[in-house]
Amino acid sequence: MTTELLESIAQLRGRIADARRAGRSVGLVPTMGALHAGHARLMEQARAECQLAVVSIFVNPLQFDRQDDLDRYPRTLEADLDVCARLAVDVVFAPAAAEMYPQPPTCGIEVGRVAEHLCGRFRPGHFRGVATVVMKLFQIVQPDRAYFGEKDAQQLAVIRHLVRDLNVPVRIEAVPTVREADGLALSSRNQRLNAEERELALVLYQSLCEARRQMASGVRDAANVTGAARARIPLDDRLRLEYLEVVDPEDMQPVERIDGPVLVAGALWVGSTRLIDNLLCSPPAGRGDACVAPTEEGRDEETVTGARSADRGTPDHERRRRPSGRP
């Protein structure tokens, strides 16, 4: 099949109307492009569950708090179209900024306490921009289902609150984080890392694993958990920990005592690149080493799935958990 590239709202609405008349269900995967295996997993699920799979590719200026970050964000439309075609996506919607915002917007979606902490604290206006563009996409596409990755946990929470509070008739599907074999969460921003920074970036995931180990061993005080996790970040001029917190996974509010499921989330600057990651944890987690070091083969048995870094946009379906050798 051929993937259609549409660049205007009118074209897309016409294509959606045709699908609706034919009784087809519609799934939406909102992205900013620079597609990788994490995006591919979203598309695969949309393709499996919906009769018309739509992927939006739009670098949304409203959600960037720094102009240099917007300017540096990778734009790889031709490669992205190849990924979408390979995954049998029906429609790619790739509008220009002038199509989405023909005039500077005077209305937007204000988000509340769910955006007060974590990224919201350090990126003023970010989640207002996210919520606004997602609401616009929901209005344009009117999908039955929309797919978001769990790596962007606070974004996912914001969208869930948006849909609930404004009675948007769409089902939000959360898709697990896709990781490299050594545990690094896939991100379009990983492309900015040089080889040394790529190795340093692993400490964010390792610190989150330390937090999970602390909980699994019986530690319930959130300050003690985060203290042990932060201690895993080495002193290095190229690293700056922005935050590492234990929060409620529903409203993203910090917790003091861990008595149920929590989200451990962190943001780390590696050189000039800002990376985020998170792990959902529940006490007791069972064994104390719930996140283990990579095996000699370079695989981490607790990662959600593996992805070959050289095969951008294609999940490694052949990967399976390997026995650890522990009794």
Q: Which residues are catalytic, by number?
A: 39
303, 277 Cβ separation under 8 angstroms: no
| Token pair recorded at residue 105 | 């917007």
Q: Give the tokens for residue 180.
A: 């490299």
Q: CA torsion sign, 125 to 129 to 131 to 132?
A: positive
Burial class (CB within 10 angstroms; exposed 0-12, middle 13-18, buried 19+) of 1: exposed
Give the torsion through C-alpha atoms of 161, 164, 165, 169, to 10 deg: 130
Q: Which DSSP letter does residue 3 get?
A: -
Q: Which of 122, 87, 90, 99 is nearest to 9 (CA)?
A: 99
Burial zone of 325 (CB within 10 Å; 0-12 exposed, 13-18 middle, 19+ buried): exposed
How many other CB atoms are found less than 10 A from the CB of residue 227? 14
